[in-house]
Each structure stands twice: as C-alpha cells, then as structure tokens.
Amino acid sequence: MSDGTPADLFLDAAIGLLRRVRAEESGAIAAAGTLLADTVESGGRLFAFGAGHSSLAAQDVVYRAGGLALMNLLAVPGVVGVDVTPAVLGSALERVDGLASAVLDSSPLREGDALVIISLSGRNALPVEMALHARALGIKVIGVTSVAYATETASRHSSGTFLKDHCDVVLDSKIAVGDAELTLDTVQAPFAPASTVVTSALMQSVLATAAAILADRGVEPPLLRSGNVDGGHEWNARIMEKYGDRIFYHH
C-alpha cells in the first residue's frame, strides 16, 4: 500500500470506483432509470432486494426522503441483515435452493412490476433463482452486482449461472473479488470494503434518473420529502394517499 493514511487511501479507492462507475456504467444507469420510470408510468410497482450487507443498499432506497415512494423492500426472513442470530444463518440461507421461488410466490410482486436484485457476488442460489423466477413471472429485473465474480469464482446455483445472466439491465459495481480495498504488511488480511458505498451510489443514481425521466414526460415523480422539514408530513401524506395501493411498507 502506498503512502497516505488508511482513511485517505480508502477514500481514494472509493472515489476511484465511483469514477469508474460514472464513466463505464452511464448507459446501464440510464437504462435502469428508464425501466423504473416506465414501470411507474404504466402502473407497476417497484421492489428492491438484497441479502446480507447487499440489503443495505436496498433498504437505503425504501421510504427515503428524496426517494421514490413506490420503492418497496422485498424482505426474506433471515437474510436481510445481521439482525438475525446467528448472523451466519443469513449466509447459509443464500445458498438454499427453492427459497427465492417461495418468497416470490408469496409476495405482492406481479407481472409488470420491476425488481432490483442486489448481490455483490451474484453467485449464490438465492439471487440467481430470484432473477430467474421473477422474469418467468413477467417481472422486469435489474441486477446490481460485481461482474468480476462471474469470471473469477464458480456459481453456487445448480444452473452454473450468475445473477448477471438473468437480468434485463445489469449494473456493474466494479468491486474486486473479496471486497477489500486495502492491504498492510502489519495486517494479515485485506480490509476496508467499499461495496456499500458504490452500490448505494448506483442505486441513488438510478432513482434520480427515473425521477428526472418521469418529470420530462410530464408525470409527477412520486417522491417523498423529509419529515424534518416544514410541510414534509403533509406532502408525504398526499403521496401515500395517491399511491397507497402500490406502497407496501405503509400498511
């Protein structure tokens, strides 16, 4: 590792990844934003899913001030995050065949909706099966993943495929296999993961694109406002009433 504090080096690495995403994924971001805008305009609903730490970026766009009110979290019990004990159970459930299909079949998702599936490696059974089954149901799928895993690791799904192979749009986070940006001679393992920073930025970029596209089409983007600004609660109440049948975290 070159000169500089670990904090400086991590921030430089994160900035470098964000610059790569801006330069290399602009077309995919535009496509994903258009897909979400099309879904909103046609009366569809929006959902986001991620397992483990990938769920953080999904949760970040649900019921979020400045975000689209129609984005719902598709939660799978036991895999959303480290709130489950033992935490390793979530990792184990990601590898269980059949779980994703059961979740989708009992969820509100239906033909014409859009589902964002976030999985850094994209190799486990859960995200792969979820994308496969969702598309079979007529649901549009946006995958947010690191494409590097598809060339440097083996799939854990019975098909031998990755999340990226079953998406209408793929957003590549550019994260290296292992998700650790720093090394030090005094530290035995690589450290400092950047996937959450980059994936959250990708998600917000896509939603910002969708909102702008809707506005350009003359459609009011169903955005939420902060409850900590004057008029925020009244604004949100109007949005909730107007789109209540497409919002599932409010009931």
pLDDT digits (tens, 9 = 90+) for 37-47: 999 999 999 99
Sign of the four-CA dihedral 7, 9, 13, 18: positive
Which pLDDT band holds residue 76 (cuts at 50, 70, 90)? confident
The answer to whether residue 118 scores a pLDDT higher than 70 is: yes
The distance between the two most distant Cα atoms of the chain, rounded to a whole number of Å, is 57
Q: What CA–CA distances, in Å, run from 54 to 40, 81, 109?
A: 24, 8, 20
Rounded mean pLDDT, 88-100? 81
Examine the pLDDT at 203 and tell me if it is beyond 80: yes
Please determine, for residue 99, whether its predicted confidence score (pLDDT) is greater than 90: no
- Rounded distance between C-alpha atoms, residue 120 and residue 125, angstroms: 13
Which residue do the tokens 């986001």 mark?
48
Statement: the pTM of the whole predicted model exceeds 0.85: yes
pLDDT in tens, 211-251: 999 999 999 999 999 999 999 999 999 999 999 999 999 86
Contact yes or no for 183/156 (Cβ under 8 A): no
* pLDDT above 90: percentage of residues in the chain: 86
pLDDT in tens, 19-63: 999 999 999 999 999 999 999 999 999 999 999 899 999 999 999
Question: Would you say residue 84 has pLDDT above 80?
Answer: no
Q: How confident is the model at residue 164 (pLDDT cuts 50, 70, 90)?
A: very high
The label of the residue with tokens 């896509």 reads 206
For range 171-181, the mean pLDDT? 97
Name the CA radius of gyration of the chain, rounded: 18
Ordered alpha helix ranges (H), the chain: 6-24, 26-41, 54-59, 88-93, 99-105, 125-136, 148-152, 195-216, 232-242
DSSP for 74-96, written as a single string = ---TTTSSTTSSSTHHHHHHTT-
- pLDDT for 52: 87
